[in-house]
């Protein structure tokens, strides 16, 4: 009588999975700690921070493309009219998202930023229904209902609609939708560089206007401030590259669970370090959002998993959470 033991996971697959988890946590940990970076950039305004973030991100990404020999692919993108249109829209959406996030974290509203990224997966699911006509499972519908109820609770009992949170969630949700429609025709670094290039003219105009009004601090606050602003390109690109490495090694459901590291980090910073107010009404709103998040996580665990396909090009950043 012979017995057949089912083979365990291959060592290479285990190593890829462990590496993917590490990359994912690294990406979302950086995004969760970004409020600290923006706070130390004072007295730079959110408009200067975002404009310079665009310019320095483009420079850093072009450097990476040169090192990795990806400049030809970058040039080829601009011969694809459909891709250029999609990336231009994606660039505007992500710039708007960056501006809202920077405004939130530099004006004492980091809690609203955290709430926005807790809501983001719910918004992404809702956009899937409205735009892509996707069919939802019961737990996903329940998460949407609880998420809407959370916003209503904050609007009625806290006395203010969380516009910053909704703006962050919808701008990033739409960004992810645009990038998902583009698909994986180009590597993540190429599309990131291209979408940044499309909004560079807007960044240059913003820098010119700020300079004309004496509101550029890049060279007026000492070398430390200059280096901090200069590092915006690295701080933008590195977590996106880590995310891409994670997404190429892990199922999307696993990446979706890891993404909550970022808003949790933002929430802890807001309450423990920045001492932002958390009255009972706001706790109630956050509590309902966390219930919605738990419903989504339960749905992800219970949902039938498709067999893992052969490795494809790195998925585009922005299909989950990004700041």
What are the pLDDT digits (tens) for 302-312? 765 544 444 44
Pair 58, 204: CB distance under 8 Å: no
More confident residue, 251 or 34: 34
What residues contact 104, with CB distance under 8 A and at least 6 apart?
110, 112, 113, 116, 164, 168
Residue 9 placed within a domain: no
Q: What is the pLDDT of residue 180?
A: 76
Q: Is there a domain that residue 248 lies in?
A: yes
Q: How many domains are there within the chain?
A: 1
Distance CA 164, CA 171 (A): 10
Query: Is residue 152 assigned to a domain?
Result: yes
Q: At a CB cut-off of 8 Å and minimum separation 6, what does 236 contact?
A: 53, 56, 57, 60
The Cα 284–Cα 30 span in angstroms is: 28
Packing angle of the helix pair 81-106, 110-130 (nearest 10 deg): 150
99 falls within a domain? yes
* Domain contains 318: no
**Do the Cβ atoms of 11 and 241 come closer than 8 Å?**
no
- Asked, as a colleague might, if the bond just before 25 is cis with ω within 30 of 0, I would say no
CA distance linking residue 269 with residue 264, whole number of Å:
9
Residue 172 lies in a domain: yes
* Residue 313 in domain: no
In this predicted structure, what is the pLDDT of residue 206?
94
Residues 6+ apart with CB under 8 A from 11: none
Selected residue with higher pLDDT from 230 and 305: 230
Mean pLDDT of 79-94: 91
Has residue 184 been placed in a domain?
A: yes
Domain with 61, as residue range(s), is 16-302
């Amino acid at each position: 009588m012979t017995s057949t033991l089912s083979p365990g996971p291959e060592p290479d697959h285990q190593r890829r999975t462990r590496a993917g988890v590490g990359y994912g946590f690294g990406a979302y940990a950086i995004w969760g700690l970004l409020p600290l970076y923006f706070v130390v950039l004072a007295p730079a305004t959110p408009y200067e921070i975002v404009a310079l973030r665009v310019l320095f991100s483009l420079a850093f990404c072009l450097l990476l493309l040169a090192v990795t020999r990806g400049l030809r692919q970058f040039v080829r993108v601009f011969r694809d009219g459909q891709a250029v249109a999609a990336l231009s829209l994606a660039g505007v959406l992500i710039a708007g998202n960056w501006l809202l996030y920077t405004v939130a974290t530099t004006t004492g509203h980091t809690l609203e930023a955290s709430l926005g990224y807790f809501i983001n997966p719910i918004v992404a699911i809702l956009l899937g229904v409205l735009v892509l006509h996707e069919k939802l499972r019961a737990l996903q519908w329940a998460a949407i209902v609880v998420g809407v109820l959370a916003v209503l609770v904050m609007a009625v009992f806290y006395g203010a609609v969380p516009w910053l949170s909704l703006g962050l969630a919808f701008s990033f949700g739409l960004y992810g939708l645009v990038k998902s429609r583009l698909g994986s025709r180009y590597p993540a670094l190429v599309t990131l560089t291209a979408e940044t290039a499309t909004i560079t003219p807007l960044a240059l105009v913003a820098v010119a206007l700020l300079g004309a009004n004496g509101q550029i601090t890049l060279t007026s606050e000492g070398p430390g401030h200059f280096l901090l602003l200069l590092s915006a390109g690295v701080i933008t690109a590195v977590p996106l590259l880590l995310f891409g490495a994670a997404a190429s090694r892990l199922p999307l459901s696993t990446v979706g669970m890891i993404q909550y590291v970022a808003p949790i980090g933002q929430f802890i910073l807001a309450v423990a370090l920045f001492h932002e107010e958390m009255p009972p009404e706001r706790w109630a709103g956050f509590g309902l959002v966390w219930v919605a998040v738990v419903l989504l996580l339960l749905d992800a665990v219970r949902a039938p998993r498709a067999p893992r396909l052969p490795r494809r090009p790195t998925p585009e950043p922005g299909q989950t959470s990004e700041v």
